[in-house]
Amino acid sequence: MARLVSTATKAMAVVVLAAASAALAAHDYGDALHKSILFFEGQRSGRLPPNQRLRWRQDSAIHDGAEAGVDLTGGYYDAGDNVKFGFPMAFTATLMSWGLIDFGRSFGAHEAEARDAVRWATDYLMKATATPGVVYVQVGDASRDHACWERPEDMDTPRTVYRVDAAHPGSDVAAETAAALAAGSIVFRDADPGYSRRLLGRAAEVFEFADRHRGAYSGSLRAAVCPCYCDYDGYQDELLWGAAWLHRASRRREYRDYIKRNEVALGASDAINEFGWDNKHAGINVLISKEVLMGKDEFFRSFRENADNFICSLLPGISGHPQIQYSPGSPTYSLLFLSAMDTFPCMRSTDVPCLQVASSSRWATATCST
């Protein structure tokens, strides 16, 4: 499978670079942030806006969704291919939103660009969830697409549409979509209140669908989504992740209670050794822990303990994992990890929860044993 840099990997870089730019003045992280955001303009699908800066890109896939009688134009291509995979695209939107929510002031002149990048994804996700009880999760036949590497403006491969519904569940991709919409609603709360309300309302509807009709989308659509974006870690983490973002966006007690009620059943403490489009456990615990750190909710103290354990497992002198390497950056942002397995030399997704921790002055020193 031809693969360049996935949109999800780049989203992680945007979050990390935005935070790092505030602390590591010796390096031009502002330029790196600018280029990371610019990457998304190169990945745009659909009719491009007049302010498109990468002029070598033109309109493409302007009839996506037509075979199913819906409008699925827009969104992002995955990497070097022309498939629109909903699962990693939604995670990308969630991560970019998280970066803006917590580090937006560090984006400087690039904040509006980053917000536009989020909206290009959330506009598409709103289209993909416009039919009640259905989430459109992919456009394009991955096997056919990967057999011929071509410009999206010239592609002649099938634009097959794939969906999950009550009979073919996909709690993972649906709950991640709900998380993306909820996180996006926070990003646009001040910039576009009406749009923010629509995002949050749709997020609640999609999450209810994900929770009511449980199952992994790779079970329903295995031939279409595997091996590219199979759900290897189960859908349970996405349900907690989606509920966590809905709680942060809405402050509604029902999501707070859902998280606590399902903490054990949905495995909040499982596999807290990574964070990415398929495994949200580290992100869940760090996101929810901030409620405790900011003095808002002692109800979630167990999540704080899980997050402490995750951070301790990454600290220099404690972690023995061969893939974890450390940058020579400042003490506050020294936890920038690289891996030889990455296809692009940028920060790994584990950086994101670490930076969320580092950004909080109220994070007490965790007890870590060597």
Report residue 366 as tokens: 């965790």
pLDDT at 338: 29
- Check if the beta carbon of residue 308 is closer than 8 Å to that of residue 299: no
Q: What is the largest CA-CA distance in the chain?
A: 58
* pLDDT mean by block of 10 residues, the chain; 370 residues: 54 57 64 91 96 95 96 94 95 95 90 96 98 97 89 94 97 98 98 98 98 94 88 91 96 92 77 81 87 65 81 68 59 33 34 55 46
Dist CA 66 CA 178 (whole Å): 24
- Check if the beta carbon of residue 66 is closer than 8 Å to that of residue 151: no
Task: Using alpha carbons, list the distances in angstroms from residue 49 to 153, 157, 268.
Answer: 15, 24, 41
pLDDT at 227: 86
CATH 3.40.50.970 applies to domain 7-279? no
Dist CA 54 CA 39 (whole Å): 9
pLDDT at 87: 96
- DSSP SS3 for 60: strand
Dist CA 95 CA 107 (whole Å): 14
- Domain range annotation of the chain: 7-279
The backbone region for 65, taken as left when phi is positive above 0, alpha when psi lies in -120 to 50, beta otherwise, is left
Model-level pTM? 0.84
The pairing of strands 134-139 and 84-85 is antiparallel
Report residue 345 as tokens: 């030399």
pLDDT at 18: 57
Report residue 38 as tokens: 């610019």
